[in-house]
Structures are given as structure tokens and as C-alpha cells.
């Protein structure tokens, strides 16, 4: 409670006042003796009245003062405030009850020991006593924050404001102090300071475009060792002008749109000039008595890089760097939406010989070829449109403002460019392309239709000999649909025994004696009837079905040869075509060995015909061919002269026979060529020690020319068409009737 005067002091004051008034009245009335007695009576009456009035007023004032002091103490107590006052002249000390709540000691303890408040200060904070003394010497109020150890052992934070009072002569006459418990505030500050400093995020306070505060993570992000070196720095040292504008716009939105927090992305420039992407959040806050901007930023540089990588993976081909199908479709959609009057062309390209290269030389070489193809396409199109990789060996082109002249000019330019070889290390490769073209809006008004129709037109280009371009027309849909349906049916054909084998005799030209037969695959589909090998064999190659089909052919031919042998035909060689795809199988040579063993087949009676495409992967081919040769089988090169074989390679391979392609046999009757190429092949083949077989002989003139130029063997319609096994048996029994 606040201190009040004691009762005896009140009585003395009251009596003194009464005596004073009494003396004054006596003096006045003493002037007239006539009224002496009357004065005496009146004085006593007045004295009594005045005394009563004074006591009444004094009591009321005392009560009001007591109530006021009680209210003030109640306020102090509710606020955890302690008041300390020490009058050095009188020695009087006043301490209110609130000090008990703050320190946990009894009020009497402080009256007994005026230094108790010093003794309970935390040892780590005792330095404040020196600081307070220095400030008090300067006759200034002092405010200190320090910790105390309460009687129960708890540690609390105290804010102690001391006010010194000096008299006119400069003497220190009074000291008053007000003490608050600020533990919650300090712990809150420490908690938030810890959060700010331990946060990995960039946290700063900006005022007037300068840094008033920045945490340690922020300074490290800016490439500055000490955060205190950044206080007062302008943010324009670390943020570009456009990004400063971003911050300004974000603050305006907070003001104008009532946002509490605004978020955006910007890029800061570190002290070492490296750029860092940040995701920023800003808000207005009071800071040190004024409005400032709190900025919290998170480093998203790696996330941005990852986003770019993901975007690149989603929209670009990783092998060639070209836009992929997703990018192409999105770009085409945008053009269709925004270019209603513009004529666009979609070109679908497929590489004609890529599968051979990929299967023979391996995927690494195939990937290199695709990269070179991508560069050639980009160089051919330039800025006339977009080049993308569809997948595999397929590419999509979109031409803008596509007049017919432009379409045909670019298409022909591509074909011409691809007539030049591709060089990979010391090897050269020839890759041609078939191009299908669809035009917007004639051939479709959406991207799916345009791409599908261009794909359909591409198959027409392949059917017309490859290495050309063709426009889409509605009748082509039947072609594309048929190919897909044939693929489905071909998968069933092997399981449902729809495939059969025909045989075409090979004859000795000088005697017309049958010395071998070539096995030729035929397919009679219950749904589509007889399907030409030129139509279904490429499908089998593309889908990989050629491997199980080839294995089946080898088994069937071996079984048939065993039957002929059992029937008395003992000197007959049977030739089987082998796909390059089969040669890529690690177990191919072992499969041949098993077939020979299973059917008790003389290896010399089995001839394997391989196309020139094996030259594209000469290393692997040499290994496989040597394995086959060790088994004792005959090896021949089919369609010689049509591909890219090298005689210098051939002489190092275990090849027994080369078969002259039908196209060169046809030239024999051509007056401009007169069979010169066929003759040259025969001569070179003999010089290398090969047996020569001519294919596709249809006229006697051709047979005579070949025989006259030392070609030993031939086959073709002139001697016999391919026929079922039972007819071959009859033919073998009686021989050729010519």
C-alpha cells in the first residue's frame, strides 16, 4: 500500500490549527473589553465548529487518498510492476507489494536489506551494475534489462528503470525505480530471433529500399560473410531494376488490393555476381516504431533448374535435342488456334534404312546416325518451320505459310541432302527418307488428324520405292489400316499354322540339273487371302516377328529335307533366308546347331542366305559367320550388288556363294547395258573364289548369257516357279523337262 500520515500526526495538526485560530480570534476580540465574556463564548463555539469541519475534511481527504493509493497499487500488482523509492535526506524507503511477485521474496526482506535486489541478479548480468552507475553519474535516467534468480530458483527477466533526483546544489537526494517482469517478452523475442537466425530462408527487413535487418542465411545467400555489413545497404546493389519493379508492384498490390501477404519470384545477384532464384513473400510490419517491409525468400535455384530439366525432358528429345512429340503437338495446336487463315503443312519422315544400321552396327551407332539426321533436317528447314523427333527413326516437321512450292522445295531439299553419306568415324552410311505430307485445313483441322494423315502418306512414299515424298489423299486410309490389321493377323499366323513354305529350284546352267532349292515363305490368311512376301516380310522385320518366324522356317525346312532324304533324294542342298535381325540374336548359331543335330542334317546340305546388310556391322557379322562356318553349313550373300557390300570385306568373310540380284539379270536384255554389271560381278566373284548364282532368270537369252560368262548356277521362272514341297518331290524325281 502507498504510505499515509499516522493518526497522531493528524491530531497534532488539527490541534495546532485550532490553537492558531483561537489566538487570532482572542486577539480580535481583546480589542474591546466590553465584549470580553461574549468573545470568550464565541471563540469556543467557533473553535469547536472549525475543529469539527477540519476533522471532517481531513478524514474525507485521507479516505480518498487511501482509495486512490489502493487503486494504484492494484494496478501495479496486476501489471507485475514494482515501485521503489528512496529519499536520501530522510532515509525513508518506499517499496510496493508488487516486488514480491517479481522476486519471490517477502516485502520485509527488501526493507531489511536494501541491496537484496543486487544480490539476486544473475551472475552473467552483474556487469549492468557498472553501466547503471556510469549513467547515474551523468544524472540521467537509466533503463536496464537483466536476469534475476528468484527465491524458488526460477530465472526471470527484469526491466529496471531508475530516475535520479538532484537538488539545486547538485546533491543526489532521491532515487525512484520502476521494475517490470519482461520474461515473456524476452523469451518471445529470443524464440523468434532463434527462428529467424536458424531459418535457412532469406529473412530481411527493408525500409526506404535499404536493409534494416537481414539474417545470417540471407547474408550467406548474398555472398557476404557478416550480416551486419549489409545493414543500411540499398537493395538495388543485389536486385536488378526489373526485379525492383516487381517488389514495388507487389507492395502496391498490398496497399491497393488489401493483400496481407504477396508472393512472387525474383532473381538476386550475389556479391560474386552469381545469380540466385528466390521465391519471395513480403508483408508490411511495424519495425522500431515505423512501418517497414518484411521480406522472406527461399532459394529455388535448384528447383528452377530441376523444373527446366523436367520441362526439357517433357518437351525435348534427349538424344537429338529437337522438340519432341509433346512440343510439336502443343506448337501445332497453338498455330491452329491462332492462325485460322494460315496454310500449314505437316511432314512425317521415316528413315528407310535406319533399322538395318541399328541392327547391324548397334544402338550406339544408330543413335549417332539419328543425331546427324537431326542436324541435316534442321539445316534443311531453317526458320521455315519446326523440326521434331517423333520417336525411333521418325521425325515430324511443321511448315508455316506452306505454299505447294515451299513444301516441295523443302521436301526435295531434304531428299537431296540425304543422298550424301553420313560419316561416323571411318565409316560412311547411306540413309534415305520417305516423306508423307498433310495440309491444313484441307487434310484435317486438328493436330491428331494432320499427324495421322501425314503418317499415312509416308507409307505411300515407302510403297512407291522409298526416298520420295507423297501428299495425303483420303484413299490412303485403307493402306494404313491394312498394315495395322496385317500386323495383328501376322501375330496369329504362326500360332494358327497359316504360314507355308514353297521351294524354288536352283539349277546348274550347263546341265539344267537341280542342285538345290531355296525355301520361300508364303502366307495364306483366312481373312485376307494370299499375302505377298513383299508386304508381310517388312512388317515382320519391323515388329521383330521375323525372329520366331525364322526359327520356325528353319525347323520346317530341316524336317522336309529329312523326308526327302528318306524318300531317296540324297544330294540336295536347301537354302534358307536369314534376317539380319536373326543374326543379332546371341543364340542364333546355337539354334542352327541344334536343328542340325535334331534332324540328323548334313551341314553341307544347309545353305544360309544372308543379305548384304551384314556389312553394316562387320565385326559382329564376322563372329557369327565364323561360328556358322564351323558347323559346316554353306553361306551365301543374297541380292548381291543391291546393297552396300564391299568386296574387300567379302574376301575376309567365310562366304561360299554370291547371288547376283535380279535387277542386274534384267539388264542383260537391256541394249544400253548388255549385262555389263552382271558380267563384272561374275568376274570379280570368281577372282575371289566365290560360287556364282544368278537370281530372277526369266528368259533363255539371260540364261545363255550367264552360262557364256561362266556363271555356274541360276534360278528363276525360266526354270521353275516356287512350288509346294510335294510338287518339288515330283520335280526332283523326274528332273526339269526343258
For residue 228, pLDDT over 90 is answered with: no
Helix (H) or strand (E) holding 561: helix 546-566
Of 135 and 20, which is predicted with more confidence? 135
Phi-psi region of 150 (alpha: psi -120 to 50; beta: other; left: phi over 0): beta
Helix (H) or strand (E) holding 83: strand 81-87
Cβ atoms of 685 and 466 within 8 Å: the answer is no
Cell of 285: 510490419
Q: Quick one: three-class SS letters along 684-724?
A: HHHHCCCEEEECCCCCHHHHHHHHHCCCCEECCCCCCCCEC
- Counting residues of the chain whose pLDDT is more than 70, the rounded percentage is 84
31 pLDDT tier (thresholds 50, 70, 90): very low
Give the right CATH number for 79-186 from 3.30.450.20, 3.10.150.10, 3.90.1010.20, 3.40.50.300.
3.30.450.20
On the question of a cis peptide bond just before residue 585, with omega within 30 degrees of 0, the verdict is no
For residue 34, pLDDT over 50 is answered with: no
Chain segment 350-408, per-residue pLDDT in tens: 998 787 787 777 788 889 999 999 999 999 998 899 999 998 899 999 999 889 999 99
Q: What is the pLDDT of residue 230?
A: 86
For residue 414, pLDDT over 90 is answered with: yes
Instruction: Work out the mean pLDDT of the chain and round it to a whole number.
Output: 83
DSSP label at 496? Answer: T
- Among residues 606, 629, 617, the alpha carbon closest in space to that of 583 is found at 617
670-691 burial by CB neighbour count: b if 16+ within 10 A, else e?
eeeeebebbbebbebbeeeebb
Cell of 302: 535448384
737 pLDDT tier (thresholds 50, 70, 90): very low
Whole-angstrom distance, CA of residue 57 vs CA of residue 214 = 63
Q: What is the pLDDT of residue 1?
A: 37
Domain-wise residue ranges, the chain: 7-77, 79-186, 199-304, 316-477, 498-729
Chain segment 697-723, per-residue pLDDT in tens: 999 999 999 999 999 999 999 999 999
Least confident of 432-446, 479-493, 643-657, 663-677: 643-657
199-304 and 79-186 share a CATH fold = yes
CATH fold of the domain at 199-304: Beta-Lactamase (3.30.450)
Q: What is the pLDDT of residue 4?
A: 43
User: What CATH number has the domain spanning 316-477?
Assistant: 3.30.70.270
Chain segment 447-493, per-residue pLDDT in tens: 999 999 999 899 888 877 788 999 998 877 666 677 778 888 998 89
Cell of 342: 494460315
Give the right CATH number for 498-729 from 3.30.930.10, 3.50.50.60, 3.20.20.450, 3.90.1150.10.
3.20.20.450
DSSP 370-416: HHHHHHHHHHHHGGGEEEEEEETTEEEEEESS--HHHHHHHHHHHHH
Amino acid at each position: 500500500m502507498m504510505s499515509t500520515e499516522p493518526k497522531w500526526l493528524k491530531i497534532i495538526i488539527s490541534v495546532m490549527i485550532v490553537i492558531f485560530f483561537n489566538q487570532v480570534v482572542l486577539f480580535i476580540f481583546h480589542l474591546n473589553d466590553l465584549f470580553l465574556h461574549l468573545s470568550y463564548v464565541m471563540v469556543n463555539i467557533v473553535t469547536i465548529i472549525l475543529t469539527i469541519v477540519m476533522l471532517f475534511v481531513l478524514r474525507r481527504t485521507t479516505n480518498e487518498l487511501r482509495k486512490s493509493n489502493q487503486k494504484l497499487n492494484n494496478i501495479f500488482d496486476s501489471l507485475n510492476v514494482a515501485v521503489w523509492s528512496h529519499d536520501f535526506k530522510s532515509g525513508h524507503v518506499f517499496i510496493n507489494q508488487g516486488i514480491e511477485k517479481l522476486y519471490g521474496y517477502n516485502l520485509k526482506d527488501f526493507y531489511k536489506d536494501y541491496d537484496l535486489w543486487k544480490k539476486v541478479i544473475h551472475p552473467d548480468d552483474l556487469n549492468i551494475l557498472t553501466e547503471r552507475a556510469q549513467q547515474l553519474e551523468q544524472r540521467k535516467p537509466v533503463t536496464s534489462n537483466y536476469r534475476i534468480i528468484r527465491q524458488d530458483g526460477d530465472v526471470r527477466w527484469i526491466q529496471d528503470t531508475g530516475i535520479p533526483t538532484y537538488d539545486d546544489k547538485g546533491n543526489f537526494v532521491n532515487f525512484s525505480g520502476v521494475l517490470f517482469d519482461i520474461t515473456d517478452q524476452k523469451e518471445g523475442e529470443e524464440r523468434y530471433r532463434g527462428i529467424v537466425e536458424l531459418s535457412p530462408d532469406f529473412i530481411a527487413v527493408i525500409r526506404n529500399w535499404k536493409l534494416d535487418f537481414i539474417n545470417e542465411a540471407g547474408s550467406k545467400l548474398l555472398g557476404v560473410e557478416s550480416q551486419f555489413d549489409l545493414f543500411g545497404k540499398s537493395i538495388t546493389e543485389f536486385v536488378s531494376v526489373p526485379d525492383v519493379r516487381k517488389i514495388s508492384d507487389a507492395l502496391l498490390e498490398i496497399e491497393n488490393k488489401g493483400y496481407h501477404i504477396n508472393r512472387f519470384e525474383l532473381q538476386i545477384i550475389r556479391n560474386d555476381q552469381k545469380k540466385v532464384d528466390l521465391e519471395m513473400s513480403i508483408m508490411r510490419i511495424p519495425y522500431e516504431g515505423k512501418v517497414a517491409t518484411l521480406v522472406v525468400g527461399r532459394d529455388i535455384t535448384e528447383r528452377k533448374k530441376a523444373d527446366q530439366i523436367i520441362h526439357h525432358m517433357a518437351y525435348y528429345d534427349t538424344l537429338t535435342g529437337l522438340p519432341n512429340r509433346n512440343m510439336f503437338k502443343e506448337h501445332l495446336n497453338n498455330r491452329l488456334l491462332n492462325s485460322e487463315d494460315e496454310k500449314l503443312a505437316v511432314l512425317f519422315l521415316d528413315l528407310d534404312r535406319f533399322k538395318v544400321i541399328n541392327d547391324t552396327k548397334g544402338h550406339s551407332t544408330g543413335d549417332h546416325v539419328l543425331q546427324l539426321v537431326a542436324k541435316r533436317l534442321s539445316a534443311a528447314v531453317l526458320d521455315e518451320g519446326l523440326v521434331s523427333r517423333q520417336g525411333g527413326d521418325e521425325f515430324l516437321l511443321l511448315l508455316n505459310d506452306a505454299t505447294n512450292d515451299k513444301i516441295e522445295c523443302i521436301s526435295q531439299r531434304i531428299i537431296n541432302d540425304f543422298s550424301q553419306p553420313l560419316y561416323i568415324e571411318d565409316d560412311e552410311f547411306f540413309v534415305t527418307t520417305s516423306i508423307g505430307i498433310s495440309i491444313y485445313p484441307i487434310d484435317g483441322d486438328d493436330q491428331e488428324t494432320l499427324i495421322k494423315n501425314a503418317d499415312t502418306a509416308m507409307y505411300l512414299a515407302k510403297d512407291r520405292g522409298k526416298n520420295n515424298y507423297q501428299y495425303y489423299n483420303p484413299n490412303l486410309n485403307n493402306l494404313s489400316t491394312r498394315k495395322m490389321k496385317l500386323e495383328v493377323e501376322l501375330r496369329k499366323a504362326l500360332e494358327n499354322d497359316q504360314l507355308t513354305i514353297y521351294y524354288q529350284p536352283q539349277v546348274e546352267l550347263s546341265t539344267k540339273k537341280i542342285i538345290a532349292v531355296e525355301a520361300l515363305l508364303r502366307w495364306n490368311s483366312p481373312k485376307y487371302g494370299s499375302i505377298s512376301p513383299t508386304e508381310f516380310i517388312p512388317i515382320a522385320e519391323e515388329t521383330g516377328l521375323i525372329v520366331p518366324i525364322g526359327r520356325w522356317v528353319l525347323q520346317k525346312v530341316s524336317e522336309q529335307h529329312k523326308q526327302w532324304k528318306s524318300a531317296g533324294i540324297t544330294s540336295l542342298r536347301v537354302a534358307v533366308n536369314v534376317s539380319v535381325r536373326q543374326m543379332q540374336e546371341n543364340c542364333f548359331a546355337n539354334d542352327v546347331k541344334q536343328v542340325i543335330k535334331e534332324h540328323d542334317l548334313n551341314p553341307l546340305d544347309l545353305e544360309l542366305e544372308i543379305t548384304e546388310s551384314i556389312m553394316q556391322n562387320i565385326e559382329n557379322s564376322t563372329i557369327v559367320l565364323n561360328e556358322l562356318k564351323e558347323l559346316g553349313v554353306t553361306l551365301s550373300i543374297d541380292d548381291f550388288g543391291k546393297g552396300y557390300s564391299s568386296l574387300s570385306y567379302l574376301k575376309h568373310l567365310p562366304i561360299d556363294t554370291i547371288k547376283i540380284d535380279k535387277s542386274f539379270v534384267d539388264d542383260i536384255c537391256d541394249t544400253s547395258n548388255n549385262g555389263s554389271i552382271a558380267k563384272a560381278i561374275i568376274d570379280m566373284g570368281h577372282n575371289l573364289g566365290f560360287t556364282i548364282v544368278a537370281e530372277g532368270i526369266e528368259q533363255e537369252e539371260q540364261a545363255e548369257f550367264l552360262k557364256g560368262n561362266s556363271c555356274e548356277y541360276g534360278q528363276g521362272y525360266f526354270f521353275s516357279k516356287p512350288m509346294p514341297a510335294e510338287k518339288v518331290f515330283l520335280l526332283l524325281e523326274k528332273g526339269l523337262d526343258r
